[in-house]
Amino acid sequence: MKAAAAAGTWKLGDLEVNRVGYGAMRLTGNGMMGNSDGTPIDRDVAVRLLHSAFEQGVNHIDTAAFYFSPLRSANELINRALASWNDNVVVATKVGPGRAPSGEWLTMARPDQLRGHVEENLRQLGRDHLDVVNLRSDGMDSIAEHFGALAELRAAGLVRHLGLSNVRPQHVAEARAIAPVVCVQNSYGLDWRRDDESGLVDLCREQGIAFVPFFAISSLRREAAPTQDHDARVHTVARAHDATPAQIRLAWTLHRGPHMLAIPGTTNLAHLAENIAAGALRLTEEELALLDKPSEAHA
């Protein structure tokens, strides 16, 4: 069994994927959301990294056309890697926000502009259809018109399955009244659990929808810096498993339910292997209770 399969599988519609996948944002540099404040990865190194992920069983990649820097495009690196890979890999992308070639963020696309977003992803990825397209809401009160436009593209065969990103529970209900929703992608992790408070994680489980957290390794999110006592508990559990704190955070995420899919990103081969290996960690009930205990500062 390949390492990425150790946590089991989940179906995005009719597409079965291993629960440990890969997030491509970092391929453009070390900045968040495609910002170019890091050194971009060499193209050949990027292809070797992606092939290493595939060889370890990763068959679910998260990307977006707006993941780019002046020198790199995540989609085009994925295209290059997949061109020399024979097995199936499910590629999920996001539409809604846009960026100018200069990197400046643009206003949210209108519903009639989403076809252009889809076609740009198709061009960059070198595909005739997209496996999964997530509508990223970015604060919209209603997503009905936008999701309806994507449902039309799904009916036309340009998109196979639809999902949501950065949404609230009411958006899920709104979207499901229009077309099936196979996944929800929100910021979520051991130190950043707002979706527990809203009930979104459990809602997705009940409705058979994959929950795909980004920023699951909370050190990547400045707002979610763990308190000192909580960080110490993470390290305690990590030592018991001869694992890293990042691996424990990923394992905790996967333990939240069989519908949880991890998409950690990295440009480091060793970290890639560690992230994938986190899927094999089995935390005890006592360890989960320790990790879930409120921090002293919040008690």
What number is the average pLDDT over the span 96-101?
A: 92
Residue at token pair 């997209």: 130
What number is the average pLDDT over the span 277-295?
A: 93
Q: Which domain holds residue 78?
A: 15-221+246-283
> How would you classify the pairing of strands 60-62 and 159-165?
unpaired
Write the pLDDT tens digit of every residue in 107-132.
899 999 999 999 999 999 999 999 99
Question: So what's the pLDDT on residue 202?
Answer: 95
Which helix (H) or strand (E) segment holds residue 290: the answer is: helix 285-292
- The reply to whether 57 falls in a domain is yes
Question: So what's the pLDDT on residue 203?
Answer: 97
Confidence label for 295 from pLDDT (cuts 50, 70 and 90): low
- The reply to whether 135 falls in a domain is yes
- The reply to whether 295 falls in a domain is no
The rounded distance, in Å, linking the Cα atoms of 33 and 193 is 20
Q: Which amino acid, 245?
A: P
The rounded distance, in Å, linking the Cα atoms of 203 and 196 is 10
- Residue 151 predicted with pLDDT over 90: yes
- The reply to whether 237 falls in a domain is no
In the chain, the number of structural domains is 1
- The reply to whether 5 falls in a domain is no
Write the pLDDT tens digit of every residue in 213-247.
988 885 544 445 556 767 899 999 999 999 999 99
- The reply to whether 159 falls in a domain is yes
What number is the average pLDDT over the span 30-44?
A: 62
- To the nearest whole number, what is the mean pLDDT of the chain? 91
> Domain with 88 in it: what CATH number?
3.20.20.100
Q: Which residues are catalytic?
A: 67
Q: What DSSP line would sit under 117-141, residue for residue? A: HHHHHHHHHT-SSEEEEEEE-TT-S
- Residue 266 predicted with pLDDT over 60: yes
The rounded distance, in Å, linking the Cα atoms of 75 and 120 is 10
